[in-house]
């Protein structure tokens, strides 16, 4: 994988986890993630970073693979969808809205 694309992917994760998915939105994000993280061990993940890690581990999140992320964040800030699109544009990835 291109290091630049992976770096942008990490930047997207950090941006969302530290600037957007915080407070009550982090709680809502955690609840939404339960549609995909169903085992007792997976339900122990509480922070956006932990949830991102697990979604990546099970193949539901990665550079250019943002459909699940879009779904999980669609009821949070509308700007999040734009941020994801902007990072996809920087990566040169066709956007999936």
Compute the distance between CA of residue 61 and CA of residue 28 in angstroms, rounded to an integer.
Answer: 18
C-alpha dihedral sign at 27, 47, 40, 60: positive
pLDDT-derived band at 96, boundaries 50, 70, 90: low
Domain ranges in the chain? Answer: 3-91
pLDDT tens across 68-80, in order? 999 999 999 889 9
CATH architecture of the domain covering 3-91: Orthogonal Bundle (1.10)
DSSP alpha helices (H): ranges in the chain?
3-15, 24-33, 48-57, 67-73, 78-91
pLDDT tens readout for residues 30-50: 999 999 999 999 999 999 999
Q: Which residues of 40-71 are buried (b: 16+ CB within 10 A; e: fewer)?
A: eebeebeebebbbebbeeeebbebbebebbee
């Amino acid at each position: 994988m291109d290091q630049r694309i992976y770096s942008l992917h990490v930047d997207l994760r950090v941006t969302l986890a530290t600037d957007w998915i915080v407070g009550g939105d982090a709680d809502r994000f955690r609840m939404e993630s339960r549609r995909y993280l169903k085992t007792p061990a997976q339900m122990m993940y509480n922070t956006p970073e932990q949830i991102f890690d697990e979604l990546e581990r099970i193949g539901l999140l990665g550079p250019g693979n943002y459909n699940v992320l879009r779904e999980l964040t669609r009821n949070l800030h509308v700007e999040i969808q734009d941020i994801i699109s902007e990072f996809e544009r920087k990566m040169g990835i066709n956007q999936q809205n």
